[in-house]
Amino acid sequence: MPFQKGFLWGGATAANQCEGAYDADGRGLANVDVIPGGPERRLVTSGKRKMLSFEDGYFYPAKQGIDLYHHYQEDIALFAEMGFSVYRMSIAWTRIFPQGDEEEPNRAGIAFYRRIFEECRKYGIEPLVTITHFDCPIHLIEKYGGWRSRKMIGFYQKLVRTLFTEYKGLVRYWLTFNEINVLFHLPFMGAGIVFEEGEDVYRTEHTAAHHELVASAWAVKIGHETDPENKIGCMLAAGTIYPATCRPEDVLAAQKENHRNYMMIDVQSNGTYPNYILKEYERNGFPIPWEEGDREILKEGTVDFISFSYYSNRTVSAEEGQDPDKNSIFSGTRNPYLKASDWGWITDPTGLRTTMNDLYDRYRKPLFIVENGLGAKDTVNPDGSIDDDYRIEYLREHIRQMKTAVEEDGVELWGYTTWGPIDLVAASTGEMSKRYGFIYVDLDDHGNGTMKRSRKKSFFWYQKVIRSNGEDLD
Ligand code: BG6
């Protein structure tokens, strides 16, 4: 049996993509609330178009999400029915600190997550909590400029201290920042940054990166001090990057691109900046904004495990701009050997095994796959059933590779959570029709529908996978 007893099987969500109830019980406004669906979404998430409040003529999908806020009992019961032993979810920062810089937390927000965790525990489900999944209070963006400000570290410390104290004994697995490397691709989502006219983008992004790294290290230290049982991980948008050909220049280009991707978690796992980025900073005349104690805390606050999302991977060539892959937020060229999903995301199960090996070789720490899945359109049959064989096929092939990485390559893996076990709002497009779930939610891209939940074919398939601890994938 490749997976040890106690291997954690489950699914993952993010507060802003499912909770809705954006202003319930004292919750404050966050960047994720004011990101509209539609063509301007990318401009906003990348910090190029300033939108810090709701504007007329736009649809904001996070306002209602799938209303998990009011459906959580029903939803967690369905997760339990599938046999989940872990549920990865995130905290909405603005439910706990509505403005971000208050002295006292919002008790109603704390009570909400306590109810969620207790509900999970009722079924023996281990919560795995992402402290920030792309969210940042609007007030902190308006007043301090988001993560470009050093002050954010203090606000984040307060948030994590509150969470670790309040949920001691209820939560043991934590992630500090979701897909921390996304900061360099979608800075408004990753760091609450809206660029000013003429601003030095490189400098701002890397300053924010340092602040997030120091904040993450503090979270690890505070978490361990509060409860030595806490296991605290980093989270990478992963996928080993391939060279377009075996031409040495392409291989080198791929290595450089991999460095760029690993940079943040190299610091989170090793406690120091790697030389390749220090040299780049030297060349670019960027001084890391070190302050007293930063070097020590980075060393003290190294993560216990490496978590990552894996959907697809990239291919790069030394020739810039060659046959670009337009469907990705990352740069890269098309890979002729691999097919893409309806949204243009490359599908490569073997790449999951390669990625697991690369991460394990690099860090020698346990891994946790916290996102994997296929975003696809579903059709509801007249009798209400949904035959999502394409989703089953995608997951089956990835789980096979994950098994091989464990069984044959000896990679240490703690668990696997598929992305969006229940349909939710897509982060990149804001659509509901890009569905990942085992559970269908009756809601369209404009927010219309009954929100009724129903089981897809994949629901019963995943139930079987979990019951057999990954043995029965048919
Ligand atoms: C990851 C994010 O990037 O990919 C999730 O952590 C996101 O928030 C997921 O939902 C899938 O992307 P999308 O755009 O299909 O929702």
pLDDT tens column, 93-137: 999 999 999 999 999 999 999 999 999 999 999 999 999 999 999
Check residue 287 and report its DSSP letter.
P
Which among 20, 122, 26, 102 has a CA at the least distance from the CA of 64? 20
* Strands of 207-295, DSSP E: 231-237, 242-243
Q: What is the largest CA-CA distance in the chain?
A: 65
Query: What does DSSP say about strands 231-237 and 453-455: parallel, antiparallel, or unpaired?
Result: unpaired
> What pLDDT is stored for residue 150 in this prediction?
98
Q: Locate 365 and state its tokens.
A: 């720490």
d(CA 257, CA 314) in angstroms, rounded, equals 10
Closest CA to 311 of 373, 356, 376: 373
Could you report the per-residue pLDDT of 433-462, keeping only the tens digit for each?
999 999 999 999 999 999 999 999 999 999
pLDDT band at 5 (very low <50, low <70, confident <90, very high): confident
- Residue 72 CA to residue 231 CA, distance in Å, equals 25
Q: Whole-prediction pTM value?
A: 0.97
User: How many CA atoms does the CB half-sphere of 420 hold within 13 Å?
Assistant: 24
- Pocket of ligand 1, beta carbon within 6 A: 14, 17, 178-179, 237, 309, 371, 375, 419, 426-429, 434
Task: Tokens for 282, please give them.
Answer: 């030297």
Determine the distance separating the centroid of ligand 1 and the alpha carbon of 114, expressed in angstroms: 25
Least confident among 28-32, 72-76, 326-330, 425-429? 326-330
| Angstrom distance (rounded) from CA 14 to CA 133 | 6
User: What CATH class is the domain 8-467?
Assistant: alpha beta
- 179 included as an active-site residue: yes
Among protein residues, the one with the nearest Cα to ligand 1's atom 2 is: 427
Residue 71: both structure tokens together:
């459906």
Phi, psi for residue 240 in degrees, rounded to 5:
-55, 135
Round the average pLDDT of the chain to a whole number and report it: 96
**Residue 103: CB atoms within 10 Å:** 6
Task: Check if 119 is active-site.
Answer: no
Taking 80 as the threshold, does the pLDDT of residue 328 lie above it?
no
Q: Which residues contact 245 (CB under 8 A, 6 or more apart)?
A: 317
Among the listed residues 19, 119, 371, 431, the single catalytic one is 371
Range 265-269 average pLDDT: 98
The structural domains of the chain, with segments of one domain joined by +, span 8-467
Question: Could you tell me which of 73, 65, 23 has the C-alpha nearest to residue 431?
Answer: 65
Span from the CA of 429 to the centroid of ligand 1 (angstroms): 9
Residue to mutate (ligand 1; options 419, 432, 441; most atoms within 8 A of CB): 419
- What are the structure tokens assigned to 34, written together? 């004011």
